[in-house]
Amino acid sequence: MQLFEYMITKEVSQASLAERIGVSQPTLSRYISGDVVPSVVTALKIQKITNNDVPVEAWLTIKDDIQDAIRSFQAAQRGEVIFDGE
């Protein structure tokens, strides 16, 4: 489960969850949007606070997706054709 899904399911506000994690609400918002990936320590806090509903592995997928998007963008800037298998 992703953090946003957890918050909706459990009816948790960004402000209250941010406080429990120990980050600011704007930082939590950036985690939710995928703009920022939390540190391993913060990801472990999130996992603990969510009773493993949002595992550390959830962030690895986001980070990989972001890195893939960056690589695709850079390749496009060089004029390379990207084939994603679809």
Q: Domain coordinates of the chain in residue numbers?
A: 3-77
For residues 2-29, average pLDDT = 95
For residues 9-36, average pLDDT = 94
Q: What is the DSSP letter of 24?
A: -
Distance between CA atoms of residues 27 and 16, nearest Å:
13
For residues 61-83, average pLDDT = 74
Distance between CA atoms of residues 83 and 15, nearest Å:
41
Annotation: CATH topology of 3-77: 434 Repressor (Amino-terminal Domain) (1.10.260)
Distance between CA atoms of residues 6 and 48, nearest Å:
13
Q: Is the pLDDT of residue 7 over 50?
A: yes
Quick one: pLDDT band at residue 35, thresholds 50, 70, 90?
confident
Q: At what angle do helices 25-33 and 14-21 cross, to 10 degrees?
A: 100
Q: Is the pLDDT of residue 81 over 80?
A: no
